[in-house]
Amino acid sequence: MMMVEKKWFIGVDLGGTTIKLAFIDYYGEIQNKWEIPTDKSEEGRHITTHIARALDDKMTELDLTNERFVGIGMGAPGFIEMDSGFIYQAVNIGWKDFPLKDNLEMETGLPVVIDNDANIAALGEMWRGAGDGARDLLCITLGTGVGGGLISSGAIIHGTNGMAGEIGHITSISEGGVQCNCGKTGCLETIASATGIVRTAKDTIDAYSEGLLHKIKEITARDVFDAYRSGDAHATEVVNITTFHLGLAIGNLANAMNPSKIVIGGGVSKAGDALLTPLKKEFEKFALPRVKEGADFAIATLGNDAGVIGGAWLVKSKLMQKS
């Protein structure tokens, strides 16, 4: 039998536009990575076939067989039954009551572990990224939506039916908030996501006719942070609103779980210190003194690789004892 350290893992990160795949070694180093488009036709029924085919083609190209791999760790959006890898619903993909784990195992001939996409990004950052091996970690992804992963004592918290870590759906505005895709109103996602930041900028723009953002036809979250760095009053108001709500949510979460690292990822995190500096100030208003002392903020470092590396960690931590 091949030595354990010589065996590799397969990480798969399913997004609404692309599926990222990687072969990753025992130590978390990516050996090969590539991506394929996400085919959402016919309610996403072809996705597992396309993943299996892509893996098969890459193994043939590199002269590898299933024997080289312990298994597949995959992150998927939506509501997941963790043990069975059954997807109750993934709105952006089209899946409803979809047996993802069973289908993928049948089509690849390899064991499969499934988790939420935000959770595997958090695991990736813990293992090889900004988490720096921290065993108590709060990871927040600010992209088109707001995702999160809660890691306690080195393990993802799933909750009773897989819904733990839905940070984006913490209620930030109790009355008069914007409708969220989840059906509720006033969710953190409607404010702190890239979409939410742009919405706040548009909603407040009339009061700043001389502002830098007034001159931009299609405002992006990046435009807001660029204008903020220039001292623009309108952009400053938008960043203050965003970081207030985000800092309040993170402060409350930190009081509940006492993390040593708070990792901020996703496209909005590219703002770097323009986001972190005002965010830390807001966080410090709401976190207990000892919680604040224990928590270091960091910008995620793995970018698009976080999901596939987290998928590999899933396999390492869940399947190694069986291999």
Write the pLDDT tens digit of every residue in 133-191.
Answer: 899 999 999 988 898 999 999 899 999 988 899 999 999 999 999 999 888 999 999 99
CATH superfamily label, 133-301: ATPase, nucleotide binding domain (3.30.420.40)
- Domain 4-123+304-322 has what CATH class? alpha beta
Residue 323 has what pLDDT?
Answer: 46
Query: What integer is the mean pLDDT of 91-95?
Result: 84
pLDDT category, 17, cuts 50, 70, 90?
confident
Tens digits of residue pLDDT in 208-245: 989 999 989 999 999 999 999 999 999 999 999 999 99
Q: Name the average pLDDT for the chain.
A: 93
Other CB atoms closer than 10 Å to residue 69's CB: what's the count? 21
Q: Which amino acid does the sequence have at 22? A: A
pLDDT at residue 207, rounded to an integer: 94
Q: Which has the closest alpha carbon to 298: 260, 249, 267?
A: 260
What are 114-131's pLDDT values in tens digits?
Answer: 999 989 999 999 999 999
Residue 316 CB burial class (10 angstroms; 0-12, 13-18, ≥19): buried
| Contact call for residues 206 and 227 (beta carbons, < 8 A) | no
B/e letters for 227-239, b = 16+ CB within 10 Å, e = fewer, are: bbeeebebbbbbb
Query: What pLDDT was estimated at residue 79?
Result: 84
Task: Give 91's pLDDT tier (boundaries 50, 70, 90).
Answer: confident
Split at pLDDT 50, 70, 90, the class of 322 is: low
Range with lowest mean pLDDT among 46-50, 85-89, 233-237, 309-313: 85-89
pLDDT of 133 reads 85
| Residue 264 pLDDT greater than 90, yes or no | yes
Residues forming CATH 3.30.420.40 domain(s) in the chain: 4-123+304-322, 133-301
Burial of 218 (0-12, 13-18, 19+ CB in 10 A): exposed
User: Which among 3, 38, 31, 283 has a CA at the least distance from the CA of 138?
Assistant: 283
Mean pLDDT for 274-284 is 98
Q: What is the pLDDT of residue 172?
A: 96
